[in-house]
Chain A
Amino acid sequence: MANLQIDFAGIKSKNPFWLASGPPTNTGYQVQRAFEAGWGGAVWKTLGDPVINVTSRFSGLNYGGQRVAGFNNIELITDRPLEVNLREINETKKKFPDHVIIASLMVEPKQEKWHEIVKRVEDVGVDGLELNFGCPHGMAERGMGSASGQVPELVEKQTYWVKEAAETPVIVKLTPNITDITATAYAASQGGADAISLINTINSLMGVDLDTWHTIPNVAGKGTHGGYCGPAVKPIALSMVGECAKQPDINLPISGIGGIENWRDAAEFMLMGATGVQVCTAAMHHGFRIVEDMIDGLTNYLDEKGLDSVMDLVGQSVSKYMSWGDLDLNHKVVALINQDYCIHCNKCHIACEDTAHQCIEFFTDANGRRSLKVREEDCVGCNLCSIVCPAEGAIDMIDKPSDISMTWNERQRLLHTFGG
């Protein structure tokens, strides 16, 4: 059976599944139950000067029958005094010495504040520190969270201050609310970070109530922007993880976060360069026990792939994630409609006719039935028909290999020699 143990920046964890800092890791009671359920580690709800939260705080995006396709919150960091959290961390660590506890920290961007909190949390036996430079709401208005995390100089400087005092590994948690996340990832590495974690939540407004015109969620009729997470953000998070992983001058272990719900998502993040993953929304939606399927699923997957260790997955897809200019312009895929599975809904025809390349047309089959087929030579292989098709297996995208490969970059170099 494959080994799920990871070594993340020197932190050994029995599996790559950690709970991300948030409501699931608010208290010792919760973290202990999570460990009993099988989670390898937990990043404690961010510690700092205790806040006062508002109600209501969360909202969910339900999309086409799927509940919580996205999730938005305006919750701040912990509202409990540091001593209470430290006592529970200490108790939890004693009861679960083989499980990882990371203290998530957020204080004002002042050297003495960072030194103080680092010492106090390390004294109770945490395995590492995560610097929360990510929350986009509330704390940012006080100069913390993403307000710090969007300025590479502040990321570097605060990481440096933490490293001055820290004895355990320092993970810098990055905000996605920035044009180029590699800039702050690089700043973290320059500040001496041992690892990075990404992403925190994405700045968002969930909606507007059409009866009351209040924004959602609302607090006595008023609202504010919040942090977006859950399955909807996974593609954004995955791309940001890939961007950091392929940057040679960042070269730090990555903890992947954002929309991870199951072992497949976790495996994808690891293939894109994450050494481990963190989960928040999925645990809030389905409870701690989702980790059981994650452990089983990942173990089976590794066994099927003939891999001994989950660490063998880390980064395997990174070199396949290129610049657009390095993709082969001659590679062609075309759509093929499988008449046995087609339910004749015509969605592919409408999509292609209205918004693509007008290459799916009607014909009358041998039984006199009006059917659809692809005019292959005009198909540009955009995939839209197969994306909108509701019938599994009715449209396949078929590879049409080409003898010659030609990327945009190669083409431009070639044309340059012809005065182009």
Chain B
Amino acid sequence: MHEHELFLKEKEEIDMLLQNDCKIVSVKENLSGAFVSFQLADQTDEERITTLHLLTPDARIYLTNQLSTKKMEESRT
């Protein structure tokens, strides 16, 4: 698979979770890439619904772009 295709797959997974009322609660980066944990937006407990493992650099920067946009939106509201 070309790297761009892998990125598109990873982007789709991020988008899908974010569109389905999930929020990112933690991001951990290590030798294996980025591990992004999501939970339902209205959920308050620690229960995480899923953790994405991002491999591509494009997905890792896409993720932080999303986080930054969200942060900016939140600070505006």
Contact = CB atoms under 8 A, between A and B. Distances in A.
Cβ-closest 7 pairs across A and B:
A377-B4, A420-B27, A418-B27, A419-B26, A378-B4, A411-B64, A329-B61
A411 B65 CA distance: 9
Contact of B26 (A358, A378, A404, A420): A420
B64 to A, nearest CB: 5
A6 to B, nearest CB: 44
B49 interface: no
B76 interface: no
Interface string B65-77: 1011101000000
A419 B28 contact: yes
Given A404-B65, A406-B61, A418 B25 contact: yes
Contacts of B13: none
Contacts of B64: 406, 411, 414-415
Given A357-B3, A411-B64, 20 more contacts: A330-B61, A359-B2, A377-B2, A377-B4, A378-B2, A404-B65, A406-B61, A406-B65, A411-B61, A414-B64, A414-B67, A415-B27, A415-B67, A418-B24, A418-B25, A418-B27, A418-B67, A419-B28, A420-B27, A420-B28
Interface string B17-59: 0000000111111000010000000000000000000000000
17 contacts: A329-B61, A330-B61, A330-B65, A357-B3, A359-B2, A377-B4, A378-B2, A406-B61, A410-B68, A411-B64, A415-B29, A415-B67, A418-B27, A419-B26, A419-B28, A420-B27, A420-B34
A418 B68 CA distance: 12
B61 A414 contact: no
A406 B34 CA distance: 17
Bin the interface of chain A by size. Answer: 10 to 19
Contacts of B4: 375, 377-378
A404 B25 contact: no
Interface residues of B, number: 17
A378 B25 contact: no
Contacts of A378: 2-4
Interface of A: 329-330, 357-359, 375, 377-378, 404, 406, 410-411, 414-415, 418-420
Contacts of B24: 418
Contacts of A414: 64, 67-68, 71
B44 to A, nearest CB: 17
A411 B71 CA distance: 12
B69 A404 contact: yes
Nearest to A359: B2
Contacts of B65: 330, 404, 406
B42 to A, nearest CB: 19
Given A418-B24, A419-B28, A406 B68 contact: yes
Contact of A419 (B3, B27, B71): B27
Contacts of B28: 419-420
A1 B3 CA distance: 54
Nearest to A411: B64
Of A330, A406, A410, A411, most B-chain CB atoms within 10 Å: A411
B5 to A, nearest CB: 9
A378 B67 CA distance: 24
B68 A420 contact: no
A358 B5 CA distance: 14
A404 B69 CA distance: 9
A406 B67 CA distance: 11
Of B28, B34, B64, B65, most A-chain CB atoms within 10 Å: B64
Nearest to A377: B4
A313 to B, nearest CB: 35
